[in-house]
Each structure stands twice: as C-alpha cells, then as structure tokens.
C-alpha cells in the first residue's frame, strides 16, 4: 500500500498549476518478519554460529536495502540462535523482493495480537483450589518442583506473594537465562528470570499509544501477566480472597515450579502484543531452557508459515518445550478458534463449581440470581425505587446511550437514591456502575441483551450491583410494567460452592472447527477460565478504572487467558513426573484422560444448556490426576508434523528450512494419517469409506487394550486390530479406523463420537468428528 501526497513549489502560476495536479508516491514503511526456517548448525550454537547467522541475515536484507549499513539500521530483531529470521522495517517493494529470495520461507507483516481476557474494564479479560490437580498428582510430581515455566504476556509483579521463594533450593543448573527486569526489579529462587521485548510495538503505526510508556522493565502494569503466571506456577498463598469472597489458598498448577516472565505485550487498545516481540520472546525462552511456555494471547487463525506463534512454537517443540496457547475469546461463533497449529496445546475455557452470587429481590418477592463481586452493600432487606436507565437519562442523551449507562448519559436529579437497570454492551460493565454511582444511584442491576443470553460475570463493582441473564432481564421489564411503584433490593455478594451442573462451556470461549486446516479438532482441551482468582499488580485499581481507589493483591478474571495457564501448570507437573516424555506425549496424556461429563454425570453443556461438542471442549475438561498415568500416548514426532505440512502444500525446499535436515514427504500421506490424539474426518460422502491411521505408545504397564467406539450418527466404524497387546514400556503399535457413511442423514455437517482404548485400568479416549457432505 502506498500513500500519495500533493506538493507545490513557488514558481510560475502555470507550473504551479501543473505540479499541484501531480502526486508523488511515498512508499509506506511497515515492520515485517522475514522467516528463513531453521539454522544449519546444531541445537547448541556457538558465538561464531550466531555471528555467522546474523551476517547472513544482513546480507539477505542488504540485497534489497542497498547496503549492509542500511540493513543494520532497519532491523528490529535478528533471530539468530534457534529460529532463523529477522524483523525489519520495509516498504512493500522491499518485502515483495525478499519474498522471492530462495533463502526466504515467508515474509509477513508484524501483526498485533490481543490478550485473551474478558476483563470487565476498558483495557482488553484460578482460583487455584478448584478444577486443578488434587494431592495425589501434586505429591507424586513434587508440586512441579524445578520445572521451569515461561510466560509470554505483560510481564510480572515480582513482589507478589505468589512469587515468594521461601523454602526453595538453588536455581536449577540447566537454567541459562537472566534477570533483565529493569530498575527496582528483583528475581529470586522462584521467579528466576525476566526479559522484555518492545521493538515491534515501538515500531507500530500508532505512535500516540506509546506516550508515557516505560520500555525498560518487565514489570506488569496491567495485571494480566501476573494473573496468568501465578495460575500456572504460583506458590502457595493462604487466606486469599477478593473483598471477602472465594477465601482459600491460592496456588498455581505447578506451585513449586520455577517461573520466568517474558514481557511481550504493552498497553494498547488493540492488545499491544506484536509478532516480532513474541518471536523474540520465544527464542529467548528456548535459549534460557524453559520446559513449558504459556501464551495467553493470539489473533484470528492463519496459515502457519505466516503465523509468528506457530513458527516459534514449532521450534520450541523441536527443543522439547511444551507450548500451551489460549483458544481465544471470540466464541461462540463456529470457526473462531485461534492458535490452531497441531504442535501446540490449544485451550478453551469452562466454568468451575463455584459462583459469586448476588440476588436481586423485587417488590413482588421474586428473587433473581445474579453474579457480582461488589465491595459495598445495601442494608439487608431494605428496598429502593427500581427504574430503567432510559427513564433517568440526561437531557442531551439519546435513549440508546442512556440504556447502556454510558458516561454522562444519566441525570442526577432523576437517579439519586434509586437502583438503576442498565443494559450490557458497548462500554465496560464496571464503568456502567461508575456512571450510576456518579449520579447518586444506590445500586445497579445489569441485564444481558438477547445475544449474551445467560452468560453472566462477577465483576468488582464499586457500588452494590448484580449481573442478570437475558431471561431475568425480561422478568425485570415485566415487573416494571406491572406496577407504578417498583421496588428492589440487592443482596451482598457471597460465595456458593458445589454449583451444578459444572463445568459449562464459557460463552466467550472460541469454537472449532479449525477452518485453516480442517484436519484436527481444535481446541484440544478445556480448563477453568471463568471467575478465576489469581495474583495481580498493585499498579492498577480493582476495576482497572482510574477513578477507582481500591487496590487488591489478588483479583478475579475470566477468559481463555485464564484457562491456558491451568494446562501449562498441569504440563509442568507431568514434566517433573515424566522428564523424558516429549511435548507430544504430555499433550496426549492431558487430552486422552480428559472428561466429557459434568458433575451430574451428564454430557458437558454450553452456556445455553445445550450439549457441547468436541468443537467446544476438544478432548474434554482436563483431569490432571488421570493424566499422570494415561496408559497409552499418541507420541507425534517432528516427521509427523512435517508430513502434515506436506498435506498443506509445503514443498521439500520449504520443509528443509523448517526441519534443518533433508526431508521427503511420505507418499500417499493424508491428513487422516496424522498421528494426533483426536480424530477428524474432513469429508465423507454417502456410500464412501475413509481410513484413518494412528499409532499409540505404551507408557504404563504391560497388557492388552481393547477398542470401543461410540459411533457418530449415521456412520459405521471398524477398528483394525480391535485389540493391542503391549509387552514393554515404550512399545508402539499402529491401528486404523475405517469410517463408512452408510445411512444418509437429513442434515449434512459434523457428527461426533469417540474412540476408547482400555485395559480395564486406563481409558485412552479420543474425540471423533466427521464432516458429512
């Protein structure tokens, strides 16, 4: 894309007229990532190797810049140790020329990604006692002792008690990283490292977003990074609560793990996480020696060669690192899932069996159950006038803005002393409460629109408030129209445990299918991601709004950002328990032991109380205790991933750059042959048969496993062989499934089932999805 500008000169009127009609094309410069694949040297590069790689990159860039000096001036990052490539400022012509260079795999824009939190305030959005491992796996895995978990995020608040190192021994000798947190930033034997990467963000096209931002620290000024890192690997902290709610002991999934913060996200209305910074963070994590890398960020799914996280994750997995990513918060739309590369673990979000509840009691004695974490309360049993926000609108406000309780839309003379009913949408939920508070309202009832349905959220409102479903909002409207003197009261927020059914799939959790490959089921797994309590920063208020004066050391958040580190913590436990397992084996263990039934023993539901499918929950809800002894695993290899890329049209030249070794695509390899823990048949016509090939490796006791299939509707499935006998640990055996579409259904589209291998003790389950066309 080029921009044009008019220029003029102080010359004769005729020439002035002529020049004023002309345009001068000024090339638009943007930051790009130029990916060159793998390095030719081995896994432990020397200083000479790194220098040689850097010089080679200068040479490639200099071929379009005109000189080595110009190349150096335009480079943001040189990925020169474990990832081969660079980030640089280029114009469109230079980018196009580089893409034609035979040494280059791909050239793509330095895109901005967002954090996957549904935070209730205007930035972007565990309880560690619920939904994560019980004592059996924790003790067996020594609470994740000495596993190193890295986190790509907004950094960390090092003073948080979640990162206290009391009782920790020396830092593991294999740690190769550093503490580059900036001034007044201290690492310890728990928080063993920190780095920050900002050049991609700094080179972005929106300079006004960078005002008053300090780029010299890995300190978390937003809270997101501290929340996710403490969820993955935070230490034990007793007596944690949020305004008296959810009281208990906070602890991460791997509470004795060592943790590392890689700050790659900066304050921005669009996310502030740029690909070039993320890729730099991933390369640093590989170099530093982390075992697990957690990334609660992303964007719309895209082809792998143009996806910085997919590229970085591929190289990390090659070096034995488990990479865990959030699925995204763009649900419940089909195909909204992000971070879909098969070598990473993609995590959806679901609820836990705890709610923060506040009831709205109407004048007719009807009680409506809502959600809240309000820090203030109304007198018990006292009723106040109840009124719709549009009825107390300011003179200059529109009905549409007033019903949303937007800033400045309500009239103090009409609202004072009343409970105001506000509609969800547009502005932040807690900000609506601030508007009601500003005009003297004593409380707020926040009601959903029809699209949001029953998805309600507990927020740290500054005044008494309760968030109600759409159905309850209709009840409110009916009550208001039934009486001339409507009254209501709001009960103080309280904690309720043992909620049934749970888990439910969160409304925001991004859904499959994966429209990029249509070859694997994504997300892979679901984990707790709604109303999660974890550590935050002291730099922001409880609501995140400037005029809030409350500060809390732990706060509640929701999003796949919160579910992702749950799985990272579980991966850390498994890494401690089984240090020789590959990232694929750990992923398989987590997936094949997941549960698809809730605490009422019925199929997991989505937020509308409809049965969820593998495109909602993947393999199911994580069950860590079983993951420590899965019996069998689908141990996907690098060659499996490369053959998978062959099916995507990647040629031998490109694949060689990915793999750092000669590779020839297997003949007749199809996506259905890809050794993945779940099974997807992308296309099956009436009367047609499709064969799916898999391999399983024994990681438990010897014995015989028998296959059982819950067949998708309209499909017959044969497993060959139907029994697998294992004589030793590490033994691997192939099998195949033959799918036949015998009976035409009224509706085309996906149908679902499951395959289970069992020896009577272990139940190795794979979700099945078949697209009938």
Q: Is 588 a catalytic residue?
A: no
Are the CB atoms for 514 and 340 separated by under 8 Å? yes
Q: Write down the catalytic residue from 128, 561, 588, 659.
A: 561
**Could you tell me the sign of the dihedral formed by the alpha carbons of 658, 660, 665, 671, in that order?**
negative
Tokens of 69: 């000096």
Burial 593-613 (b: 16+ CB within 10 A, else e): bbbbebeeeeebbbbeeeebb
**751 backbone dihedrals φ, ψ, rounded to 5°:** -120, 155
Q: Is 106 a catalytic residue?
A: no
Alpha carbon separation from 703 to 11, 303, 635 (Å, rounded): 93, 41, 19
Alpha carbon separation from 547 to 160, 409, 434, 438, 551 (Å, rounded): 24, 18, 9, 11, 12
Element at 710 (helix H, strand E)? strand 703-710
Token match 């409506």: residue? 368
| CA geometry: angle 591, 191, 280, nearest 5 deg | 70
Q: CA 205 from chain center: how many Å?
A: 25
Nearest-angstrom CA–CA distance, 594 and 532: 20
Are the CB atoms for 655 and 646 separated by under 8 Å? yes
Cβ-proximal residues to 651 (8 Å cutoff; 6+ apart), any chain: none
Q: Write down the catalytic residue from 127, 153, 635, 673.
A: 153
Nearest-angstrom CA–CA distance, 131 and 113: 28
Nearest-angstrom CA–CA distance, 366 and 309: 50
Q: In sequence order, what E strands does 276-390 have?
A: 292-295, 297-298, 322-326, 345-350, 354-362, 367-371, 384-388
The residues facing 217 across adjacent strands are: 182
* Cβ neighbours around 55 below 10 Å, total: 13
Q: Which of 102, 253, 123 is nearest to 628 (CA)?
A: 253
Q: Is 561 a catalytic residue?
A: yes
Q: Write down the catalytic residue from 224, 227, 492, 566.
A: 224
Pairing of strands 749-758, 763-772: antiparallel
**Active site amino acids:** 153, 224, 561
């Amino acid at each position: 894309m080029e921009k044009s500008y008019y220029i003029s000169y102080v010359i004769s009127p005729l020439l002035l007229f002529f020049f004023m009609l002309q345009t001068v094309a000024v090339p638009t410069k943007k930051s790009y990532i130029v990916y060159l694949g793998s390095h030719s040297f081995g896994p432990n590069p020397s200083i000479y190797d790194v220098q040689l790689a850097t010089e080679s990159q200068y040479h490639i860039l200099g071929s379009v810049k005109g000189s080595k000096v110009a190349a150096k001036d335009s480079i943001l990052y040189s990925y020169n140790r474990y990832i081969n490539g660079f980030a640089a400022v280029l114009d469109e012509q230079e980018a196009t020329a580089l893409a034609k260079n035979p040494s280059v795999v791909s050239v793509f824009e330095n895109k901005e990604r967002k954090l996957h939190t549904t935070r209730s305030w205007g930035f972007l959005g565990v309880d560690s006692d619920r939904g994560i491992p019980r004592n059996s796996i924790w003790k067996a895995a020594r609470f994740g002792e000495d596993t190193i978990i890295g986190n790509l995020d907004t950094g960390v608040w090092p003073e948080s008690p979640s990162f206290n190192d009391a009782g920790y021994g020396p830092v593991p000798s294999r740690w190769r990283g550093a503490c580059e947190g900036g001034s007044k930033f201290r690492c310890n034997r728990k928080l063993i490292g920190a780095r920050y990467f900002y050049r991609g963000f700094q080179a972005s096209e929106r300079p006004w977003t960078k005002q008053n931002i300090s780029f010299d620290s890995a300190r978390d000024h937003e809270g997101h990074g501290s929340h996710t890192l403490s969820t993955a690997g935070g230490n034990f902290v007793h007596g944690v609560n949020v305004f008296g709610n959810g009281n208990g002991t906070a602890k991460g999934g791997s509470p004795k793990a060592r943790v590392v913060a890689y700050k790659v996200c900066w304050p921005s209305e669009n996310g502030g996480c740029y690909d070039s910074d993320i890729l730099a963070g991933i390369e640093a994590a590989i170099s530093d020696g982390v075992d697990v890398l957690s990334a609660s960020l992303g964007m719309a799914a895209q082809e792998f060669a143009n996806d910085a996280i997919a590229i970085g994750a591929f190289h990390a997995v090659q070096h034995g690192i488990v990479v865990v990513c959030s699925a995204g918060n763009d649900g419940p739309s089909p195909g909204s899932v992000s971070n879909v590369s098969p070598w990473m673990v993609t995590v959806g979000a679901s609820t836990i069996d705890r709610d923060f509840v506040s009831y709205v009691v109407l004048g007719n004695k009807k009680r409506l159950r809502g959600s809240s974490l309000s820090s203030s309360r109304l007198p018990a049993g006292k009723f106040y006038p109840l009124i719709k926000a549009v009825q107390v609108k300011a003179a200059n406000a529109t009905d549409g803005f007033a019903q949303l309780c937007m800033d400045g839309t309500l009239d103090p003379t009409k609202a004072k002393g009343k409970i105001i009913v506000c509609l969800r949408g547009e502005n932040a939920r807690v900000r609506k409460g601030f508007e009601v508070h500003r005009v003297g309202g004593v409380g707020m009832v926040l009601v959903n629109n029809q699209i949001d349905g029953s998805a309600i959220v507990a927020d740290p409102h500054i005044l008494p408030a309760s968030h109600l479903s759409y159905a309850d909002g209709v009840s409110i409207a009916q009550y208001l129209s039934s009486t001339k003197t409507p009254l209501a009261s709001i009960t103080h927020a309280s904690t309720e445990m043992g909620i049934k059914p749970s888990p439910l799939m969160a409304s925001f959790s991004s859904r499959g299918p994966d429209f990029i490959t249509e070859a694997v089921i994504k997300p892979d797994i679901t984990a707790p991601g709604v109303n999660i309590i974890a550590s935050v920063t002291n730099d922001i208020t409880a609501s995140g709004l400037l005029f809030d004066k409350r500060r809390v050391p732990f706060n509640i958040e929701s999003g796949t950002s919160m579910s992702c580190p749950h799985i990272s913590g579980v991966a850390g436990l498994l890494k401690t328990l089984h240090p020789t397992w590959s990232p694929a084996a750990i992923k398989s263990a987590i997936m094949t032991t997941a549960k698809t039934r809730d605490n009422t023993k019925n199929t997991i539901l989505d937020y509308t109380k409809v049965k969820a499918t593998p495109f909602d929950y993947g393999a199911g809800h994580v069950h860590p205790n079983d993951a420590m002894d899965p019996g069998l695993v689908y141990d996907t290899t690098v060659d499996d991933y490369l053959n998978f890329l062959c099916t995507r049209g990647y040629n031998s030249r490109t694949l060689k750059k990915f793999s750092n070794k000669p590779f020839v695509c297997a003949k007749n390899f199809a996506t259905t042959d890809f050794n993945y823990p779940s099974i997807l048949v992308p296309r099956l016509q009436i009367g047609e048969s499709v064969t799916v090939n898999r391999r399983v490796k024994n990681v438990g006791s010897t014995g015989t496993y028998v296959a059982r299939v819950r067949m998708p509707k309209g499909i017959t499935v044969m497993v060959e062989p139907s029994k697998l006998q294992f004589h030793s640990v590490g033994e691997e055996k192939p099998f195949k499934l033959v799918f036949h579409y015998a009976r035409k259904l009224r509706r085309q589209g996906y149908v679902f089932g499951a395959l289970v291998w069992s020896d009577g003790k272990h139940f190795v389950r794979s979700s099945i999805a078949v697209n009938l066309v």
